[in-house]
Amino acid sequence: MNPARPYIPRPGERAPRTETFPSSRKRQLRIWWHEIDRVLLLLIAMLMAVGAIAVAAASPASARRLSSSAHQLGDLHFFRLHLQWQLLGILTMLGTSMLPRELVRRGAIVLSAGMIFALLLVPLIGTEVNGARRWLDLGIRFQPSEFLKPAFAVGCAWILSWRARDPDLPVIPLSAAFMGLAVILLMVQPDLGDAILFVACWAVLVTLAGLPLQRVGLLGGAGIGALVLAYLFYDNARHRIDSFLGGGTAYDQVDLASRTLLAGGWTGSGLWLGTRKLALPEAHTDYIFSVIGEEFGLLICGVVVLLYLAIVVRALARLVDEDNLFTILAATGLVALFGGQAFVNILVNLQLFPSKGLTLPLVSYGGSSTIAQCFLVGLLLAITRRNPYLSREKFDWRGAIDGFGRDEKGRGDKEGER
């Protein structure tokens, strides 16, 4: 056959089928590349690179601490594992970022139901680590609460966005019931840190959805009251708060973390030259920020903080001219969880907050936690995707909030008339 001449089938002969899938896939990738926030993607990649270097610095300390006479771990044991988990996390993040918003919403609903069911199983068949039963081992060990976080943010945003269609729907009580169920299941483990994070995310979303200021004040008072009750009747909370207020001891892990963080001064002692990290428990996970401080210095710690701040600001700036309430709420909820966890972890390392057992997102070593955090930022990238050639009308925040307040007042007047 002459390749220069087009193929003309003979009478009764079928023309050969042309393969359109590769060109379709390439077209989808081009659309994805134009719609995704490439600046946000770059910031996330930079943070993950910092995480790889930080785990390399912390790996010897944790490997030697967890080694025994029968089983010796190499100094770079956790670093090699972290690179593998990061590779899986990157694939998860990129794959998730290609999902359309409708599929993100539906997937979050299904994932929420699955992880709530998994949390119900944790007290029954869960694996206990360091006195807390938070993991399920079903061939692969994972922490259900980590995967519930992004699903919770998107699910709550979906519930609260119903109000744009029907102002009479009780979206606040419904979202509060969802949050309350998750918090109760977390407190049973016990997992006070994640419970507080879920409550904070929900509070941000209902405030953004237009909850009247007086009710926001009542919500804050209720939160303080709940914290007092947790201190009085919840042993895990009382122990952590007492340890924090007591100032710790020379052997307290929070005090050790603070000393390790400050040991390197402004410029650090150098990679693998730190010594205080060797006595620090969970150096590669909860207290990796302190290892960064000792080996790379407080200046690099400041750069890490700025990276987190840049990711939060960039994601929120992407929503300034957004016209879809669900998109605004879902992205804000994901940012609140991501930034809130980083903020709490850094404050714990600075000895400014009670120990919560929260890792530093995209930096700390982790298996399922790394995948879950990459899934979270993948959802954020998917939700903030937009056609760069389409202009959109800005969302009327003032009108939405005023309308929410009028609806609440009208409902109260109707109830009074009854």
pLDDT band at 363 (very low <50, low <70, confident <90, very high): very high
Per residue, the 3-state secondary structure of 38-93, as one string, reads: HHHHHHHHHHHHHHHHHHHHHHHHHHHHHCCCCCCCCCCHHHHHHHHHHHHHHHHH
61 contact partners, CB below 8 Å, separation of at least 6: 277, 278, 280, 283, 284, 291
pTM recorded for the entire structure: 0.83
Average pLDDT over residues 337-355: 88
Structure-model confidence comparison of residues 290 and 133, the more confident one: 290
Q: Which pLDDT tens digit goes with each residue over 65-109?
A: 887 767 888 888 899 999 999 999 999 999 999 999 889 999 999
Instruction: Provide the terminal-to-terminal Cα distance of the chain, rounded to the nearest Å.
Output: 87
So what's the pLDDT on residue 232?
Answer: 67
So what's the pLDDT on residue 398?
Answer: 54
Q: Which range in 261-275, 330-344, 352-366 is most confidently predicted, on average pLDDT?
A: 330-344
Structure-model confidence comparison of residues 237 and 309, the more confident one: 309
Residue 77 is which amino acid?
H
Q: Which range in 40-49, 217-226, 383-392 is most confidently predicted, on average pLDDT?
A: 40-49
Sequence spans of domains, the chain: 37-386+395-407
Average pLDDT, the chain: 81
Closest CA to 121 of 189, 169, 167, 67: 189
Average pLDDT over residues 27-46: 90
